[in-house]
Amino acid sequence: MSYLAVKHFHMTFVALSGILFLIRGLLMLADSPALQKRVLKIAPDVVDSLLLASAITMVVWSAQYPFVQNWLTAKVIALVAYIILGTVALKTGKTKAIRVTAFITALLIFAYIVKVALTRQVF
């Protein structure tokens, strides 16, 4: 498999991950019981695992590493923040206001990660 193929897989998983997070967040906002469906619990884990695997493959094959490349470092730090806020939004947020704030902030961080990936610019 070529680097370009892995990159395309990665971009596909980014889009799927973002779409699934958006759907789950909208269901959370609507207090929908659909959020508890098995597919919405398993699919994001599968997609995110494939996303991470493709990211690691690209890092190794390109020899561009976080904490060496500033833009990759920014993506990793933002990813950690996104995961934490996504967890608060969909699982651990004690109030609806906290969950909504975490959801919106996580979406903004997701957009930042995509922007950094496309431009390789931190700011």
Convert the pLDDT of each residue in 69-94 to its tens digit.
999 999 999 999 999 999 999 999 99
Rounded to whole angstroms, the Cα distance separating 1 from 86 reads 32
| Rounded distance between C-alpha atoms, residue 96 and residue 89, angstroms | 9
Q: In the Cβ-directed half-sphere of 46, how many Cα atoms lie within 13 Å?
A: 7
Domain count, the chain: 1
Contact yes or no for 35/24 (Cβ under 8 A): yes
Q: Which residue stretches of the chain are H helix?
A: 3-29, 38-62, 70-87, 96-119
Round to whole Å and give the CA distance between 84 and 9: 24
Provide Rg for the chain, Cα atoms: 15
pTM for this predicted structure: 0.94
pLDDT given at position 1: 86
Its domain, for residue 12, covers 3-119
Bridge partners of 66? 69
